[in-house]
Each structure stands twice: as C-alpha cells, then as structure tokens.
A and B are shown apart, each in its own frame.
Chain A
Amino acid sequence: MFKLTEDRKVKGTPLAKVVMQTIADVMDTDEKVVMLEADLGSASSSNIVEKAHPERYVQCGIAEADMVGIAAGLSVKGFKPFIHTFGPFATRRVYDQLYLSGAYAHNTINVYGSDPGFTVGPNGGTHTTWEDVALMRAMPTAVVTDAADAVQLEWIVREFAKMEGIHYVRANRKDVRNVYAPGSTFELGKGNVLTEGKDVLIITAGQLVSDALDAAEQLEAEGISTEVIDMFTIKPIDKELILSEVKGKKAVVAFENHSIIGGLGSAVAEVLAENCIAVPFKRHGCMDQFGQVGTPDWLQKEFKLTAADLIETVKGLLK
C-alpha cells in the first residue's frame, strides 16, 4: 500500500545513494547479492557498497561489456548481481551482453541505469539516453521500471534483489521531489492511481510523476478533472488499469522522460489500439531527437517536458 507524501516540495535522499545504501543493506542479510562497478563508484555512490561489503564488490574498470558478462557468470554460480553505469552505457552499449549472456541464458542481472533523459545535465548528449526503455522493453523477460522518488526506488531495489531475471531501473542520481510517504509499498506490474479525475488521464512514470501532479493541480484549478497514474513498471505494463481508467475520459496523455518511440507512450498506445479504444491520445516525450548539454532544468524546458508543456498538450487534446 502506498501513501502520498504530505509535502511534494521536499526532496528525498539523492537517488544514487538510495540505490547503493539499499544494496548494501540487502547484502547484510543476503550473501548472494553482489555489486559490480565500471569505474563510476564515486559518481554512483557504489563506494558505499564497497566499504560495507568489499568481498562482494567487483570493480571492473571502464569495461561495461565485460562487467555485464562477469555479472552473468556470477549468476551462473548462483549470485544475484547488481550493476550500475550511466543509462546509455547500461543499455545501449551492452545490449547484446545483457540480451544473450543475461536474458537468453536465463541469468539474473539487476541494472541501475542512471541519469535518464533530461536528468543527464552537464554530461550532455553523449551520455543521454532517450531510448533505454525501448531497448529494454524489446528484451524478452526483462522487467523495466522508472522510479518516481527515493521511497519507490528503495522498494524497487529490494524487490529486484528477491527476483531472478533481468531487471532494469532508471533513475536520476541526484535528489528528486518526494511523491510517496516513507514505508509505502508497491506491486511490480501494477500502476498507482495518484489522483482521481473524470476528464483527463495522464499516465506517467519516473521523475515526471511530480511534474504531472503539478500539472493536474493546475488543471483541476481550471476545472479540468485530471487523473494521474504512476506507471512505474513499464514492462510488464498494467493493461487492466489502463483499460479501467480510460473509461469515460475525454483525453489520454502518456508523459515520459524518454523518446516517444518505444517507451511508455508506445506501451500505452499498444494497449489502447489492441483494445479498440478510440480516445484523443498523445505521446508526450522526447520527439525523436538527440540529447544535448545544459542544466537539467534547462534541458527539461528545451525538450518540452515541464508541467506547463504537459498542460498545453492536455488542453490541445481537449479542443
């Protein structure tokens, strides 16, 4: 069961620290969990894990493909590896390793791809991923998630540590605004209805959940009743929830920090189309562009992923 936070302006613990502290904690009681790093220990805070459990921390150097393969080999020996690198390297760069040595070989690898989409900030276009969800969705058996805040991210990491298979979570490394109250629990594959509404349905995930809630508040103030779903599990997508919540809506928007090709918007579109749902619908995300450099705030505006941009999309659909 989840509960929303009381103050959405407050930020939680930096997300990279959340991931690494949670992994270190899980390792206290589960000797099968191991952590692999590709020379980003200071950037990802995985040095927390190194300090707590040096015997199960594997520094692979700047060799991401090797890191994924080593993780696969550790899985063969019964371990449950977590790996981290920046989102594009955690998916695009090592796709064949994750696909074959990982998924196809029935191995377990938990992947934290950091700084997705506009959150890349000063690392810029070379370090930007707008396509990680599309890639990971196309990998048979993979579970794909986008964490909304620190509370949800900790829950996801703990859940991954119990499972077998390929699991992907994308999240900023820095602190983000709280969505959920501490102690909230979730269910993989089940979306969360955060606000009820009868006119508009916004389906979103990750850091943009906060912006979608901002937009919904403003739309409500203008008399547009808006429902927001946090679809933190993008694969498997919660079809039943989409089909039940779309009923009676005048417009549906999928709002994502990802390309409109292959991500959450595509997943929602597939559900709507295959169930003959005719409703004004828009995928609101990165419009098939490359990333670029700038502050995260500037990039969010540049790629039109702010609450104001979302409101414009909603109003456009309602016209």
Chain B
Amino acid sequence: MDKVELKKLELLAAKIRLDVMELLYHRGYGHLGGSLSLVELMAVLYGKCLHVDPADPQMDDRDMVVLSKGHAGPVWYSALAERGYFPKEWLMTLNDGGTNLPSHPDRTKTPGVDMTTGSLGQGTSAAVGIALGQKMKGQNRYTYLIVGDGELNEGQCWEAFQFIAGKKLNNCIVFIDENKRQLDGYTKDILYPFDYVAKMEAFGFHTQKVKGDDIEAIAAAIEKAQANKDSANCIVLDTIKGQGIKYFEELVSNHSVKFNNEANIKAAEEAIANLKEFIAKEEA
C-alpha cells in the first residue's frame, strides 16, 4: 500500500472512531468495546475494498457485508455515514424511537445494511446464502462476513463455517474479531476458545492472522484471500476490545459502556478532542 492510500485510510479510521465515540457519548451508553475493535477493518472495507455505490445501495451487482456480531452496529453506521450512505446527523438518532439506526442492524431501515443481525450466529448462515446467490447469478463479488470471538460460542457459526469450507465458497471471506472479551468477561474464562487459526484450518479454511489495528496488514490479508481460489478464506483479526482508546481498552467491563460517571465522561471527552485534533491536522 502506498503512503497516500495509507494516510487516507488512517484518516478514515480516525473519523469512524470519532463518530463511534460521539454517537455513543451523545446516547449516554452503548456497545463501545466491540465497535472500536472493528474500526480499522471498516476503514479498509469502506475505504478500499468494497464494490458498492452509496448513491444506489440496492445495486444488484455489489459486494455485501454481513455484521453478524450485530451489537457492533455503531461502527458499521459510522463507516456507512462516512462513505455517504446517509447524513452524519443520523448517527445521533441511534436507538431513538422510529430511528433508521437501531442498536442492532436492520436491512429494512438502513441504507447499506444488507442483512439484519443481532441474534448471534445467524449472520453467518445468511452470509453463506448471499455468497451462494452471488455465484448463482454469475456475479464476481464478495460477501464479507464479520463475526465476534464471543459469538463463536454459538453453534450455528460452525454449521455455516462447515458449509463455507466444505463447498469452498471462496467469495465469502470470514473475519473473526478476536478481541478476547465478551459480555461477562474474557472469552478464555467464559468458554475456552482454543486456537481459532488451528480450528479454522482444521475446517479447511485458508486462515491468516493479522493485527486488527494494522490497516496495511488487513488490506494485504484481504488481497491474499481474494487471490486464493482453492479453498475458503478466513482472516483472524487480533484486536483489542475498546481498540484505539487506551482508557476504554483498559476498562474492565467495556462491552457496553455507560457515560454516567466522571471517569468515563472525561475519557470520552478527551478521546473525542484528541481524534478531532488528529483529523484537523491530517486534513490540513
């Protein structure tokens, strides 16, 4: 990746992270940790990889994204807003009665959202169907499936993975957001996950593991996955829940954060100020 493109994607990631912080801070609560761990992936997808047209969100011959860990809706909405699917003002309506941006993604409400998710595990199978449909229609397009590591507790994920791998559905690229934490604590303590790379390889996936905040590495892994036509493809993202904002990375319970105490409020305000400063500098 050349420096110009990297700068562009770093700037986009900063904007997405700022949007997530601003909308959750405005709302007073929300799924912060698992949204922030996906910021860099969203920047690479929406800033570089996806064949989509925000002016025509229903364009049939397009790449699709399925955010199976639906509680990370805020980061998807932020990426969609930055890509121009809808006005950024919508972000402040998260969870309002009648909003187009419900806590969990809804394909009937939000331009750019192709599949409704929230009941964990279900997005995996839907992504299979979408990828199959792209192939049946002869479209040379990708379905990018994003699952959480906590979500992998759900058996349906493994049913879908077996299908993707067994049928070599190589246009469905699976991302595992390995942020190592879930609602009640660390994944290793809740339900020991073993080694995702070894598990996915045992299923038959060509599996890569990259740092989830490394834009160049994520982009390179996607290119490698696209080039591999011999098997299904998985990219494990080694991420941090609350990624990119030290205070929230270190906050013990950061799955859903409430901005109702001085420390959280101060940290959010500082993060917002820092991100704004970084963006202003980059844009100048």
Q: Write the residues of chain A forming the contact surface with B, with a CB cutoff of 8 angstroms.
A: 34, 55-56, 58, 60-61, 63, 65-79, 81, 96-97, 100-101, 104-106
Say yes or no for B271: interface residue by CB 8 A criterion: no
CB–CB B132/A58 < 8 A? yes
Give the segment of B7-15, B42-50, B110-118, B245-253 that binds chain A.
B110-118
Q: Which of B130, B159, B162 lies in contact with A73, CB distance below 8 A? A: B130
Give the segment of B93-101, B133-141, B196-204, B261-269 that binds chain A.
B133-141
Name the residue of chain A whose CB is nearest to the CB of B155: A65
Q: Which of B114, B126, B137, B163 lies in contact with A101, CB distance below 8 A? A: B126
CB–CB B116/A100 < 8 A? yes
Q: Which of B66, B116, B133 lies in contact with A78, CB distance below 8 A? A: B133
Chain A nearest CB from B76 CB (Å) reads 15
CB–CB B128/A69 < 8 A? yes
Name the residue of chain A whose CB is nearest to the CB of B137: A77
Chain A nearest CB from B192 CB (Å) reads 23
State the majority secondary structure of interface residues on A.
helix
Q: Give Cα A60–Cα B128 distance, bound, in whole angstroms.
A: 11
Q: Which of B176-233 contact A (CB under 8 A)?
A: none
CB–CB A77/B130 < 8 A? yes
CB–CB B159/A76 < 8 A? no
Name the residue of chain B whose CB is nearest to the CB of A63: B159
Name the residue of chain A whose CB is nearest to the CB of B118: A100
Chain A residues whose C-beta falls within 8 Å of the C-beta of B132 in the assembled complex: 58, 70, 73-74, 77
CB–CB B60/A73 < 8 A? no
19 contacts between A and B (CB under 8 A): A55-B136, A58-B132, A61-B163, A63-B163, A66-B128, A66-B160, A69-B123, A69-B129, A70-B128, A72-B125, A73-B125, A73-B129, A74-B133, A77-B130, A77-B133, A96-B119, A96-B122, A101-B122, A105-B115
Besides A74-B132, A76-B107, A106-B108, 17 new A-B residue pairs in contact (Cβ under 8 A), listed by A number: A61-B163, A65-B122, A65-B125, A66-B128, A69-B124, A69-B126, A70-B160, A72-B115, A73-B127, A74-B136, A76-B64, A76-B126, A97-B125, A97-B156, A100-B122, A101-B116, A101-B126
Chain A residues whose C-beta falls within 8 Å of the C-beta of B272 in the assembled complex: none
Chain A residues whose C-beta falls within 8 Å of the C-beta of B160 in the assembled complex: 66, 69-70
CB–CB B107/A75 < 8 A? no
CB–CB A73/B119 < 8 A? no
CB–CB B129/A76 < 8 A? yes
Say yes or no for B18: interface residue by CB 8 A criterion: no
| Interface range on chain B (Cβ under 8 Å from partner) | 20 to 34
Chain A residues whose C-beta falls within 8 Å of the C-beta of B118 in the assembled complex: 100
CB–CB A72/B129 < 8 A? yes
Q: Give Cα A104–Cα B126 distance, bound, in whole angstroms.
A: 13
- Assess A70 versus B116: contact at CB under 8 Å? Given A77-B133, A77-B134: no
Chain A residues whose C-beta falls within 8 Å of the C-beta of B66 in the assembled complex: 73
Chain B nearest CB from A104 CB (Å) reads 6
Name the residue of chain B whose CB is nearest to the CB of A99: B119
CB–CB B129/A105 < 8 A? no
Q: Give Cα A68–Cα B124 distance, bound, in whole angstroms.
A: 11
Name the residue of chain A whose CB is nearest to the CB of B108: A106
- Assess A105 versus B116: contact at CB under 8 Å? Given A76-B129, A77-B134: yes
Chain B residues whose C-beta falls within 8 Å of the C-beta of A72 in the assembled complex: 115, 125-126, 129
Chain A residues whose C-beta falls within 8 Å of the C-beta of B131 in the assembled complex: 73
Q: Give Cα A104–Cα B60 distance, bound, in whole angstroms.
A: 22
CB–CB B162/A70 < 8 A? no
Chain A residues whose C-beta falls within 8 Å of the C-beta of B119 in the assembled complex: 96, 100-101
Q: Give Cα A74–Cα B121 distance, bound, in whole angstroms.
A: 17
Chain B residues whose C-beta falls within 8 Å of the C-beta of A105 in the assembled complex: 106-108, 115-116
Chain A residues whose C-beta falls within 8 Å of the C-beta of B116 in the assembled complex: 100-101, 104-105
Name the residue of chain B whose CB is nearest to the CB of A60: B163
Q: Give Cα A10–Cα B134 distance, bound, in whole angstroms.
A: 46
Chain A nearest CB from B104 CB (Å) reads 10
CB–CB A68/B114 < 8 A? no
Q: Give Cα A78–Cα B139 distance, bound, in whole angstroms.
A: 13
Q: Which of B62-100 contact A (CB under 8 A)?
A: 64, 66
CB–CB B133/A97 < 8 A? no
Q: Give Cα A112–Cα B114 distance, bound, in whole angstroms.
A: 26
Chain A residues whose C-beta falls within 8 Å of the C-beta of B156 in the assembled complex: 65-66, 69, 97
Q: Give Cα A78–Cα B130 distance, bound, in whole angstroms.
A: 9
Chain A residues whose C-beta falls within 8 Å of the C-beta of B159 in the assembled complex: 61, 63, 65-66
CB–CB B125/A66 < 8 A? yes
